[in-house]
Amino acid sequence: MSGRIGLLLADDQALVRGALSALLGLESDLEVVAEVGSGDAVVPAVLEHRPDVALLDVEMPGLDGISATAAVTRAAPRTRVLIVTTFGRPGYLRRALQAGASGFVVKDTPAAQLADAVRRVHAGLRVVDPHLATDSLLAGESPLTQRETEVLRAARDGSSVAAIAAKLFLSEGTVRNHLSAAIGKTGAANRTEAVLTAEGNGWL
């Protein structure tokens, strides 16, 4: 890799990938070695190309960026992960760091700052958007239990209680109880509002 920092770019939007590749490719010490358009393709590409740093979006088809981060951390611990996303949600930041990400920045970060973030992550440092770090502290940990989180995720597409129960192998009464608890904990008026609140804080 001729002494340069090898990069993998993962984003489901080809235009975004192309722009990132073009911008980072202008840096003499950075080299894009692979690009993928889904979370499922991240680990195979990492194992094939052995990038130094993987730049992952959060919301992608297949595995989301946070799940992909955990998978990369397990499969190729020498590859560091930098999340580069449009969705600057406090809960996403916390979950990404827990999954093993070394950095978290938003897509409107200026090119020079993004390149610097890549270098710092490669050097073993942690890079976090300062505004998100503050918001993350203010938002706090998710108040939802693991099961409440699963039930709310299943309710995102408007599925009926019966459909959610079948999907999660729970009784309808149990699903109603978890939905009720989640609505209360998020301060929402109904389950749709609970989903929106939980998504806004990056808890789902």
Q: pLDDT of 139-185, one tens digit each? A: 667 889 999 999 999 999 999 999 999 999 999 999 999 999 999 98
Q: Using the predicted structure, report yes or no on whether residue 133 has a pLDDT greater than 90.
A: no
Percent of the chain scored above 70 by pLDDT? 94
Mean pLDDT of 24-32: 95
- Mean of all residue pLDDT scores within the chain: 90
Tokens of residue 17, six digits: 């990938």
Q: What's the pLDDT at 1?
A: 43
Which two three-digit tokens encode residue 164? 């959610």
How many other C-beta atoms lie within 10 A of the C-beta of residue 110? 9
DSSP string over 52-70: SEEEE-SS-SSS-HHHHHH
| pLDDT tens column, 70-111 | 999 999 999 999 999 887 776 788 889 889 999 999 888 888
Note the pLDDT tens digit of each residue in 137-151: 556 678 899 999 999
The DSSP secondary-structure symbol of 40 reads G
The Cβ of residue 129 has, within 10 Å, a number of other Cβ atoms equal to 20
- Looking at per-residue pLDDT, the higher value among 5 and 141 belongs to 5
Residue closest to 108 by CA, chosen among 126, 132, 125: 132
Cα-flanking dihedrals φ and ψ of residue 109, to 5°? Answer: -60, 130
Which domains are delineated in the chain? 5-138 (3.40.50.2300), 146-200 (1.10.10.10)
- Cα(162)–Cα(171) distance, integer angstroms: 8
Q: What is the 3-state secondary structure (H, E, C) of the chain?
A: CCCCEEEEEECCCHHHHHHHHHHHHCCCCEEEEEEECCHHHHHHHHHHHCCCEEEECCCCCCCCHHHHHHHHHHHCCCCEEEEEECCCCHHHHHHHHHHCCCEEEECCCCHHHHHHHHHHHHCCCCEECHHHHHHHHHHCCCCCCHHHHHHHHHHCCCCCHHHHHHHHCCCHHHHHHHHHHHHHHHCCCCHHHHHHHHHHCCCC
> pTM for the full model?
0.69
